[in-house]
Amino acid sequence: MYILTLRIMRTKLFLFLIIIFCSCGRKNNRAIENASPIRVIDVLAEPELEITNLSDIATDIEYIPLQTSESSLIRYILDMKAREGKIFIKTNTSELFCFESSGHYLYKLSKSGRGPEEYTYIYDFDVTADNHLLLILTTNRILFYNLSDTGFVYSKTLNLKNEPYNINISPGQKNILLSYGSSSGNVPFRNVLINLNGDTLRTIPNSYRYSKNTKIGFAATFENIQFKSNNSLNFKFWLSDTVFTLNLDNKIVPYLILDSHGKQTTTDALANFSSVQESLSKYLQVNSILETSRYLFYRYYYETGRYRIYDKVSKKIFSIDINPKNQTKWLIDDLTGGVDIEPKFCIDGNIYSWVDAIILKNRVASDGFKNSVVKDTAKKEALKKLADSLDETDNPVLIVVTPKE
């Protein structure tokens, strides 16, 4: 689920609603470079078949318990990054944890406040590929922290003219891509590329500006979807079917098209936005994209929630049953017999997910686990030992899936 914000213009009152997904569309942009023909994926095409078992797309799975201590208590994982043997986990708007890849706890960043080295809350974050620098996006600022063996060390603050929604460090470089939302419809830029000193390297105009006809503003956390793959940063514009790539030369080129057949949300719908149900329910809304070397995972809403996997080798589209009523059925772990897997993050070609300790313990204690026929019996036994060693109140357990090449 994702958070959508409605802003009442006169009173500045914020109302937070929970909905599923967002939008598409297509326009030309002068900031975009010419490119050779690109892949087009028909979002509304009927899938070849439904994938049920994890082994259909993956070769291995690993369950990693995150060390539990008074300093590292985690209730929920909102976002995560993995860099050079370290895992960085955002659990709420004020704390960021660092673990070793084995799950051993190292340290955390917890500096909520209004001081020069503090932040009001963490909008977004990223870590350089060499694991030396952490960037925290907060209100109109980027805070820089150096990474040491013992913790995060404040370095500097970069003030911003406007307030971005997202921040991403471009792979292979140390430039920063800022992504902006537009509740008013009149934000001039959707993306701005800057260097670590704050110098602007490139801007991408907002090609979908509109004038509002109501007093209600619309903004969504998924207005700009970003995902890294193939040593490049990919992103999808609000109201656009096209996914773009920021390559190593800082050129922006079309990467692929998620063809919505013109059923994407329109600027007219946003200009006359009155309610979630009336304004968005009839449009196709793409809200999540993950990519490995072989697969493209994308989630969208059109009449109901759907999850698709595009196989770049066979050029076929497969579906995952996400059980729209309670969204509990995903990919069955037939490798070790563990919990059903929801692809949540993709880092360096691997798929990451997580499960609460109590849910994993209940699964391993069930007849379903005991009677499950798995691909790797040794790992099934190891998973049982792991679950038995956990307390119900322990930190979540990370799940790392190795997809097929």
Q: Each residue of 340-390: pLDDT tens digit?
A: 999 999 999 999 999 999 999 999 999 999 999 999 999 999 999 999 999
Average pLDDT, the chain: 86
pLDDT of residue 36: 55
pLDDT of residue 296: 97
Please report where in the chains the tokens 């004038």 appear, as a residue.
211
Q: What is the CATH number of the domain that holds 338?
A: 2.120.10.30
Domain that holds residue 176: 2-403
pLDDT of residue 30: 40
- Structural domains in the chain (count): 1
Q: Which pair of structure tokens corresponds to residue 247?
A: 């390559």
pLDDT of residue 325: 58
Residues 6+ positions from 153 with CB-CB distance below 8 Å: 145, 146, 147
CB atoms within 10 A of CB 71: 11
The pTM score is 0.87
- In the predicted model, residues of the chain with pLDDT beneath 70 are 1-36, 217-219, 221, 275-279, 323-328
